[in-house]
Structure 1
Amino acid sequence: MIVLMVGCTKERQLEVEIFETSESGNKLTKLEEFREVTSQVKVVLDPEETFQEITGIGGSFTEASAYLLNQLSDKNRDKILVAYFGESGAKYSLTRTHMNSSDFSLGNYSYAPIEGDTELENFSIEEDRDDIIPMIKDAMAISEDGFKIISSPWTAPPWMKDNKEWEGGKLLPEYYDTWALFFSKYLQAYEDEGIDIWGITVENEPLGNDSNWESMHYTPEEQNEFVKGHLGPILREEWPDVKILGYDQNRHEELIEWVDAMYDDEEAAQYYDGTAVHWYASTYKIFAEELQYAHQKAPDKHLIQTEATVDAEIPAWKDDDWYWSKEATDWGWDWAPEDRKHLHPKYVPVFRYARDMIGTLNNWVDGWVDWNMVLNRQGGPNWAENWCVAPVIVDPDADEVYFTPLYYTMSHFSRWIRPGAVRIGHSQTGDELMLTAVQNPDGTIAVVLLNQEENSKGIQLDLNGKTVSFEIKGKAIQTVLIPPINDRS
């Protein structure tokens, strides 16, 4: 029999809306009826216990994604942008883009290519005008609430570096002022286009990527010297509202070293608005202790996940089952050092995303940004052949679009956890489910649940003594919405 399970009496019933994505075929499906399940996980929400304020959730504007959109029909291009930014879609609220080229560009380029141009008189963002800028502007036109943008450089132009290469090397100290000016010129050029940049990271992955694509190395102390003596002062004078985020790499033990260096140096610390992190140190581990440490080190600063992707895998095309199966691997499956191999087993892509968002939000991360929004069937374009997966895969030759299960996974968070939401306390019986809960600025409470097991689970949800009981399918994600208190029955 199919029934809706509720509390014992009408007076004690909690009114909710429930949306589910599952291996069995639900895709943000609104549920009205449930099978009766005898055993239940009991979840109690505590809105009086509050944690971090949410900055936003979303994905990245890369040249690869923007270029692919321009290869599609207007109908499919618009369909994707509405799916990401429209009211009926994922409603992305926090995004990222790259300054100069990245591996997900069509080739190497810099806004300041002329050697010796220390005053950057020839600075130009012309390279972005065909693809990235139109994509951002069209997204802005679609988004009713708007979204924040974080910009990150992968490298300074080679002529400013000790090895004169796009990959690896370090910024020469004699160009610290020029490179700091570069950031200000970039912010002005984008403002002139009508695009406000909310924040910057000092350097994408300052520990490097084995010189496989654009990169530039800093030690924590070198980053501090650049920030406190050059970048921080110019941005505070010319762009005081733009956030400066340090580090911008993995959440493993290196995170502790970097936040210690950033925030123990009082002169540098005054310029940092937060720490940026990536997820590539493991396919499943949250690194909760490291995140807790980073928060305690600077409790009034941002802690933002700026990049995540299913990396080093060719995307599966129109095969939802692949994204729910334990078949994916990342770079670590083949290339991680022996002492870190255990951090990179095969994994379920949907679980990797949902686990990470729930786990990091529960450990003080206030923003979570995916990498490419759109890639092709190869996992590019990528000049370095560093193939990855995106929530939306396209075949531009056939003008076809595939919304993978990762798109719906992202939407469970970005659509219903809004900027300004505050994470609230919760308790649960057992450890079968992962969940996080927030209260949005409009008073709605959003609870996101993940069931990684094959079998359905019964849930009894309690808020201030009012309860509702329902079922979550096996291998499924749910978002449960509770209306503002004045609207609750």
Structure 2
Amino acid sequence: MKNLILIQLLIIAIVMNSCSKEEKQLSAQVIETSRSGNKLTEIKEFKQANPTSSISIDTSKTYQTYTGFGGAFTESSAYLLNRLSKANRDKIINAYFGPDGARYSLTRTHMNSCDFSLDQYSYAPVKDDMRLENFSVAEDTADLIPFIKDAMKASKDGFKIFASPWTAPPWMKTNEDWVGGELDPKYYETWALFFSKYVDAYKDKGIDIWGFTVENEPLGNGNNWESMHYTPKQMTDFVVNHLGPQLEKDGKGDLVILGYDQNRSHLKEWVDEMYRDDISKKYFDGTAVHWYDSTFKIYEDELEYAHDKAPEKYLIETEGCIDAQVPVWKDDDWYWRKEATDWGYTWAKEENKHLHPKYSPAYRYARDIIGTMNNWVDGWVDWNMVLDRKGGPNWFENWCVAPVIVDPDQDEVYFTPLYYVMAHFSKYVRPDAKRIHHQSSDKDLQVTAAQNPDGSIAVIVFNPNKETKVFDLKHNNVSKTISISPQALQTIIL
């Protein structure tokens, strides 16, 4: 009898030990997008193989707090949406902003026209209207404002929106042209008032503006489309002496002001001037950057320098896109192949051509977002949300690719792989999430991790290799073996 009892106790101990081991398995939901066809697909069964590497995360060590991820409201995108059937228009807006979609949380729009407008226009067309008595955003009421308001209705959590001017009205500029030139100092006060008037006009339409970048691409863009040039000192003086005080006087001192707003390679000289003293630090809330200097270079040193210069300030990627390309229609595989080229592939100086090789569009997004996240960037904003099969429309015929391509004549919609890549970040890394420490033993995998305000953890893994990778994901002394497909992006939710 005693032997029987001992056997029963032994069996119970074995079962309990087994259950304990099962309880210590890391619980994880794995979402994957891959060249093989997964599109935000939940993966429940993994390749049966021994892990060849490990990824560990540590929530006790945190870095920047995320502001959000998203895209830009442009007149081109808004115009196209209005040419689609209501069903397809709603489908796209919900895909970007709805609770089951990408849940974009940080967005941009343009003040006055930009290269992705249908023509050139200004909200202040009357020359020498110094008090802007004729200011009007009427140009935006047909397409742009309805797009923003419908996105607001679709979004459960809401989103931030910042605005960027490509240029002041030509009459305020030294060359009196849409392209190039500088802001004439005699109009500094009027141009500062322009920002304040814009906020009021949009608020009257039911849209709250979160902030601004002072100028899109102040170094210029090759005299192609709307632009206005500043030196770092000119921009800082304008913000310190005019824009900041004007917004304060008008009760808008809480609006965010982001300086610079161009490529990362020049960051050091700009942040040195923007944060030159306590007064300039008071008015600049952060720095905006673009990615067009290179199709693969992250500029880690420059981002680190900008963070160290002002660790409490925003550091936001405000624009990136697959530029100088006509979109490929309904061929998912093209977006994973190394065929795309950017402007610099043809036009860069010979000594800079190595920065512009052929690349895979899906790789470029995944690699850049993870790389910048791991180097203090706290927000990442794509360019146009919707373009047509030509890569427009826009007045300059500056064709680019967007995550969603449409054929308005046939009322067709194509969600490219870029949409799904963006959603891996925007959907699962929410505003106020914090980047957390991670370690990966496989140098061929790109990894980042963040903990959301609700306590959930998002681990994002990019595998650009042509073979499956198997790794142990470790957290709090428990682990789970996970395999990631070749040429794939995963978001793992803990």
Pairwise TM-score range, normalised by the shorter structure: over 0.9
Q: How does 1:366-381 map to 2 (within 5 A)?
A: 366-381=378-393
Q: Specify the code of the residue in structure 2 equivalent to 1:310.
A: I
RMSD between superposed Cα atoms in Å: 1.2
Contact 2:324/2:400 (CA < 8 Å) preserved in 1? yes
Using the size of structure 1 for normalisation, the TM-score is 0.96
Distance in 2 of aligned mates of 1:7 and 1:469:
18
Secondary structure (helix, strand or coil) at the match of 1:270 reads: helix
Distance in 1 of aligned mates of 2:127 and 2:49:
69
2:156 equivalent among 144, 150, 153? 144
- Residue 458 of structure 1 aligns with which residue? 470
- Residue 344 of structure 1 aligns with which residue? 356
Distance in 1 of aligned mates of 2:19 and 2:231:
57
Contact 1:251/1:281 (CA < 8 Å) preserved in 2? yes
1:247 equivalent among 260, 263, 271? 260
- Does residue 46 (structure 1) correspond to residue 49 (structure 2)? The answer is no
Distance in 2 of aligned mates of 1:134 and 1:157:
24
- Residue 415 of structure 2 aligns with which residue? 403
- Residue 116 of structure 2 aligns with which residue? 104
Q: Specify the code of the residue in structure 2 equivalent to 1:392.
A: V
Secondary structure (helix, strand or coil) at the match of 1:169 reads: coil
Q: How does 1:148-163 map to 2 (within 5 A)?
A: 148-163=160-175
Runs of 4+ in 1 over 4 A off after TM superposition: none
Contact 2:51/2:481 (CA < 8 Å) preserved in 1? no
2:480 equivalent among 458, 468, 479? 468
- Residue 278 of structure 1 aligns with which residue? 290
Distance in 1 of aligned mates of 2:417 and 2:487:
12
Q: Could you report, residue by residue, the CA deviation over 1:250-289 in whole angstroms, capped at 9, with x for unpaired residues?
A: 011x111100111114332210000000000100111111
Unaligned runs of 5+ in 1: 1-5, 483-489
2:94 equivalent among 67, 77, 82? 82
- Does residue 390 (structure 1) correspond to residue 410 (structure 2)? The answer is no
Q: Specify the code of the residue in structure 1 equivalent to 2:196.
A: S
- Residue 217 of structure 1 aligns with which residue? 229
Distance in 2 of aligned mates of 1:330 and 1:393:
19
> May I ask how many residue pairs the two structures share in their alignment?
476
Per-residue deviation, 1:41: 1.9
Q: Specify the code of the residue in structure 2 equivalent to 1:45.
A: I
Secondary structure (helix, strand or coil) at the match of 1:358 reads: helix
- Does residue 293 (structure 1) correspond to residue 305 (structure 2)? The answer is yes
- Residue 195 of structure 2 aligns with which residue? 183
Contact 1:7/1:466 (CA < 8 Å) preserved in 2? no
- Residue 17 of structure 1 aligns with which residue? 29
Contact 2:215/2:261 (CA < 8 Å) preserved in 1? yes
Distance in 1 of aligned mates of 2:33 and 2:91:
20
Secondary structure (helix, strand or coil) at the match of 2:271 reads: helix
> Alpha carbons of 1:473 and 1:110: their partners in 2 closer, same or farther (altered >3 Å)?
same
- Residue 453 of structure 2 aligns with which residue? 441
- Residue 3 of structure 1 aligns with which residue? none
Per-residue deviation, 1:8: 10
2:76 equivalent among 47, 61, 64? 64
Q: Could you report, residue by residue, the CA deviation over 1:9-33 in whole angstroms, capped at 9, with x for unpaired residues?
A: 3132000000000000000000110
Q: Could you report, residue by residue, the CA deviation over 1:76-108 in whole angstroms, capped at 9, with x for unpaired residues?
A: 000000000011110000000000000000000
> Alpha carbons of 1:84 and 1:7: their partners in 2 closer, same or farther (altered >3 Å)?
farther
Distance in 2 of aligned mates of 1:7 and 1:388:
55
Q: Could you report, residue by residue, the CA deviation over 1:397-416 in whole angstroms, capped at 9, with x for unpaired residues?
A: 00000000000000000000
Secondary structure (helix, strand or coil) at the match of 1:280 reads: coil
2:209 equivalent among 193, 197, 204? 197
Secondary structure (helix, strand or coil) at the match of 2:323 reads: coil
Q: Specify the code of the residue in structure 2 equivalent to 1:467.
A: S
Q: Specify the code of the residue in structure 1 equivalent to 2:260.
A: Y
Per-residue deviation, 1:211: 1.1
For the pair shown, the structure with the greater C-alpha radius of gyration is: 2
- Residue 7 of structure 2 aligns with which residue? none
Contact 1:82/1:142 (CA < 8 Å) preserved in 2? yes
- Does residue 115 (structure 1) correspond to residue 127 (structure 2)? The answer is yes
Q: Specify the code of the residue in structure 1 equivalent to 2:72.
A: S
- Residue 486 of structure 1 aligns with which residue? none
Identity over aligned pairs, percent = 62
Per-residue deviation, 1:381: 0.6
Distance in 2 of aligned mates of 1:403 and 1:99:
28
Q: Specify the code of the residue in structure 2 equivalent to 1:75.
A: A
2:333 equivalent among 315, 321, 332? 321
Distance in 2 of aligned mates of 1:237 and 1:418:
33
Per-residue deviation, 1:7: 12
Q: Could you report, residue by residue, the CA deviation over 1:316-346 in whole angstroms, capped at 9, with x for unpaired residues?
A: 0001010000000000100111221111100
Q: Could you report, residue by residue, the CA deviation over 1:42-95 in whole angstroms, capped at 9, with x for unpaired residues?
A: 001000000000000000000000000000000000000000001111000000
Q: Specify the code of the residue in structure 1 equivalent to 2:253.
A: P
Distance in 2 of aligned mates of 1:166 and 1:80:
32
Secondary structure (helix, strand or coil) at the match of 2:368 reads: helix
Q: Specify the code of the residue in structure 1 equivalent to 2:257.
A: I
Distance in 1 of aligned mates of 2:474 and 2:447:
14
Distance in 1 of aligned mates of 2:434 and 2:71:
21
Secondary structure (helix, strand or coil) at the match of 2:54 reads: strand
Q: Specify the code of the residue in structure 1 equivalent to 2:413.
A: V
Distance in 2 of aligned mates of 1:267 and 1:26:
51
Contact 2:114/2:225 (CA < 8 Å) preserved in 1? yes
Unaligned runs of 5+ in 2: 1-17
- Does residue 331 (structure 1) correspond to residue 343 (structure 2)? The answer is yes
Contact 2:232/2:273 (CA < 8 Å) preserved in 1? yes
Per-residue deviation, 1:306: 0.3
Q: Could you report, residue by residue, the CA deviation over 1:138-181 in whole angstroms, capped at 9, with x for unpaired residues?
A: 00000000000010000000000011100000000000000000
Per-residue deviation, 1:35: 1.3
